[in-house]
Structures are given as structure tokens and as C-alpha cells.
Structure 1
């Protein structure tokens, strides 16, 4: 059994036992409908044209930070899968300001995110950064949203539109 198949079986087992599958989307706009399901207090209101239709949610923790993630994958002709889009909602005390977020994500992604490589990004009042296929912003101390879009298949404008389509669900919407 290949590592990818084993990982997929493990993830499906965890989803089925731990958090359960997402509700089945209606026919016709299936990917868009799944994007609108709440993810840790946020919805994804825009998906780029051509994003894969295999959608999974994950909940993990790394380095003292809790991740709630939604992943859109596409099936490859050889039977494997590739990730087109991943939206992470991160919560943790160590994410107190934008510099701390940058340091955390540099460590997590094993990627140099020095100030010179990052470009500014704003999501409403929230400040953030972008770097090749990745956008993140500090919603408030301890709460970050990160959007990763495969730069080999989608351009910067698709990444921007997708990130700006992520919105916090207001408490009144959640309870009503």
C-alpha cells in the first residue's frame, strides 16, 4: 500500500469516526455549496473556477496551535489526487501579532517568510501577508486565517478573490 493510499484511508477513518463527513451537497454547484458550510466560524464564499470537487475537513494541532482545515482536491488521470485549495483557521495564544504569525507559519511550512519575501495583504481591517500561492491575515490576536491555492493551476487574482471571499460568521447567524 502506497503512503498516499494509507494516508487517505487513515484520514477517511478519522473523519468517519471523529468529525463525520460533510453533509452531501446538492447536485449542480456542489463545490460552491460545500464551501459555504461553516468552518470554525468562517465560510468560504468564493471558489476559483476549476477547483477540485473532492472536499474534506480536518481538525489538527501543531505547535500549540489548533487548525480547522478544509481541503479541495482534484483527481489526477493516474488515479492520485492533488490539492488545489486549502483554507486553515488557526487558533492559539502564540499567534498574538502579525510577526508571531509569520514566524509560526515559517516554521510550520518550513519556508522562509522573511519580511523581504512577503507582500502586504488586507482583508477588511485585518492586516496580513501574501507569498507565492499563500495568503494569511490576523483576524484578531490568537485567530488567523490562511488560504493556500496551487500556483501551478491558479493565478494571483484567483488567490486574492478566494481569500477575500472568506468571511467570519457572525455570532447571531451561528445561533439563529
Structure 2
């Protein structure tokens, strides 16, 4: 398996930078939930003494015609992630590919209508500055039909 920086595109997006020290296990997952298609790349560390693994970093491309703007994307994620709609992800995040929002340990943005990206840091392995740098290095390089 190629190193994280040399992996192929993730559904039309290049992951240009990931922090040092994240887990070496890199896996791609494809799934659907309601009318949303997901393609996710996960970096994990482990196994730990209890034989568990930990997600250190996750980059997910989501596609749905319901993603018409950032508010619609946020509304979907509130339900999908079971977050408090009054308090979660209220801080703006402006990615070069489009507008988004952020909260502790995650950033997401609308790359174009119908296409969104979420970058999640799974704990203490990644500080928010490195998580933001990773998110800014995720760039759409070609549309995928």
C-alpha cells in the first residue's frame, strides 16, 4: 500500500498533506446513508494492548443533490452525526474550494453544489492547527460524474 501522501485521489480530491505521527494503517471505505454517497479515507493507529485501533484522521467526500448550500450540508451532518443543532459547527471555515464550517476536531465545506468534504481528527494525535492544514490541503482536482 502506498504511503498516505502517494495514495490515489479520493473521489476527485487530492489529499496533499497529512500530519506526521498519525497511524500507518490507511483504508478507504465506500458507503451510503439515506441519499448521500460517502467515500472515506481513514488513518488508524494500533493495535493497542486491548487489541483496539484508533481513528487518527478521516477525510470523507460526500455527494448528494440535497447539498445545495452550507446550511443544507450542516443540517444533514447534524442528523447524521447526532449533534446538537443549536451549538454544533457554528464557526465559519473558508476553504479555497468553497465555504464551510468548523467545530472541535472537524472541518467541512461545500466544494460545489452536491459535493462536500469533511475532515475529522480522532483525538489527541492531531492538534487543530494540523487538522486545519490537512483540510486546506484537500483539493478538488477533477469533477467525478
The two structures have a TM-score, normalised by structure 2, of: 0.91
Which contiguous aligned blocks of 4+ residues in structure 1 show a shift greater than 3 angstroms?
113-117
* Aligned-CA RMSD value: 1.7
Higher RCO by CA contacts (8 Å cutoff, separation 6 or greater): 2
Distance 1:148 1:96, change over 3 A: same
User: What residue is the counterpart of 2:44 in the other structure?
Assistant: 73
User: What residue is the counterpart of 1:52 in the other structure?
Assistant: 23
Structure number with larger C-alpha Rg: 1
Q: What aligned pairs does 1:1-176 form with structure 2 within 5 A after superposition?
A: 24-25=1-2, 30-34=3-7, 37-78=8-49, 79-114=51-86, 117-124=89-96, 126-170=98-142
SS at match of 1:106: helix
- Report which of the two has the higher share of helix: 1
Distance 1:32 1:113, change over 3 A: farther
SS at match of 1:77: coil
Q: Is the 8 A contact 2:89 2:101 kept in 1?
A: no
- Report which of the two has the higher share of strand: 2
**1:80, CA displacement in angstroms?**
1.5
Unaligned 5+ segments in structure 2 are: none
